[in-house]
Chains A and B, each alone.
Chain A
Amino acid sequence: MTTLGRILIIEDDPNDLELTLTALTDYNLANEVVVTRDGQQALDYLYCRGEFSTRSTGNPAVMLLDLKLPKIGGLEVLQQIKSDERLKMLPVVVLTSSHEEKDMMRSYSLGVNAYVVKPVDFHEFVNAVKELGVFWAVINEPPPGSVRKPT
């Protein structure tokens, strides 16, 4: 029996979000997806506070993080997560438009688990999101305490 890990998406752009969700839906990976729209909301979700104070506990199996976000930026969110004992094991995948070496270096030095540049081509984009979803939500064994649902 396979299980499906929960995917936390942090994406401010509605179009990118729709395309990502479309890609995940195409491969039946969208059932356990949580969407947050900025860094603040993402941290609220992870710490079960604010609008998420009543959510069931447990970390997602993976977090897809955009870098350019309103309020709290992606790199700040990453830093916050990786410096918190309770969250540092959460796999974080940066999914961004930025090819910049600076962003890459910074992300890796903060301990990101993967860095993916969003391809311009739709097929490549869908493929990248699918691969990410399949790997992190299905194939990869997430750290103990992550939310997984049998499919």
Chain B
Amino acid sequence: MTELAEGPTHVAVRRSLAYWNQEFQRIHPPILRYGFSVVSVGMALGVAFALQHYQFRDVELPVLTLAIAFTTWYAGTGPSVLAVLLSSAFFDYFFIEPLYSFDISSRDLPYFFIFVAWAVIVASFSAVRRRVEDSLRQVRDNLQVEVEQRRLREDEIRKLNQELGTRAAELEATNKELESFAYSVSHDLRAPLRHMAGYSELLQRQASSLLDEKSQRFIQTILDSAKRMGILIDDLLAFSRIGRAETKKTEVDLEPLVKEVVAEIGQDTKSRNIAWKIGALPVCYGDRSMLRLVVVNLVSNAVKFTRMREAAEIEIGAVERDDNEVDLFVRDNGAGFDMRYVDKLFGVFQRLHLPEQFEGTGIGLATVQRIIHRHGGQVRGEGALDQGATFYFSLPKAQQAGERTANAS
């Protein structure tokens, strides 16, 4: 019964009568089983004699049938037949007239039939019981297998969880390290830069009358470079902060957000002829200030790269993708880009134009990509040289915003 020791529900069963019942039925060697048959009948005979001695009459038949029943129940068919034969013989010999002889008369037949019938009834009960037991055992085995499998699965889950925990701790440590790295960059790298700029400026002021034009230009270059490096460091820090900052996601209505950004940027481009076209935009789910940064970056890019156009056109719109996501785009008719270099567009400090053509550090689209990735979306750019560019980004839709779809326009 060791296999039962696993399940707590079996503990009670183990101690019960049923357990011993079963244990007895496990007596398999034939000698033991037939021996059991002989001993039962012998004991029944002894009890019958004892009872007869104390003047109890006609008890031998029930006692012997009881012995047959026990034998049939516990030892099986063969011993049962033996018990019936032995009981019939002993009954005939000891209790039926003429006593102490094996004479068989037609009067004795009913007793023999009683023994046989009794054995058959008990045997059929035993068979039914065994069948029920077998099916129960099978169910139990199945259950055990299932329990075992579940335990294995639980073990596996626990192990995976543990691994996940370790991984999370590692990530947290890496994040901390990155944070302190960014911190020291912001602190320690900016100080010498400030000194370079400051002292060049002082030098320029102090010695401007002594320096020729070339030297003045050298100093100016030092100053410009220091300033540029300052901007690069600030951009990089802002970029890394986006990766580290927690996102506070809410429902964000993109239409007012885009209009707000366009109005703001429009303030600086009053002198230019820009035709804005803003389509119906959906309500999305995301971090408002981060999404605003995405829109600011894409729109100011569009403004920047249409600078040489007499009539610039900038379109902002949305295309339904599926029930959960929506594609938004910013399209311009500006400088565009060669699709061969499309892979480089979203890299940090990657630029496809000379600084003399268009200013900038090349952090804008990298920032856009990082923010959209943090929202579980995708970015991509399409364009052709001198024929404008379109930048797409996908965002998860707000659940309740179903009726205000982008196609409404």
Contacts and interface: CB of A to CB of B under 8 A. Distances in A.
- Is A bound to B? yes
Interface of B: 183, 186-188, 190-191, 193-195, 197-202, 223, 226-227, 230, 233-234, 237, 241
A49 interface: no
A19 B194 CA distance: 9
B237 A97 contact: no
Interface string A61-101: 00000001000000000000000000000000000111111
26 contacts: A13-B191, A15-B191, A15-B198, A16-B194, A19-B194, A19-B195, A19-B198, A22-B202, A96-B187, A97-B194, A98-B186, A98-B187, A99-B186, A100-B186, A101-B241, A118-B194, A119-B194, A120-B190, A120-B194, A120-B197, A120-B227, A120-B230, A121-B197, A122-B194, A122-B223, A125-B194
Interface in A1-39: 13, 15-16, 19, 22
Contacts of A96: 187
A100 B188 CA distance: 13
Contacts of A120: 190, 193-194, 197, 226-227, 230, 233
A121 B195 contact: no
A123 interface: yes
Contacts of A13: 191
Contacts of B237: 99
Contacts of A15: 191, 194-195, 198-199
Contacts of B183: 98, 100, 102
Contacts of B188: 97
Nearest to B245: A101
Nearest to B234: A99
The residue in B195, B223, B230 that gathers the most chain A C-beta atoms within 10 A of its C-beta is B195
What 8 A-B pairs are tightest by C-beta distance, nearest first? A120-B230, A122-B201, A15-B195, A122-B198, A19-B198, A97-B190, A122-B197, A97-B187
A17 to B, nearest CB: 11
Nearest to B184: A68
The residue in B195, B198, B200, B234 that gathers the most chain A C-beta atoms within 10 A of its C-beta is B198
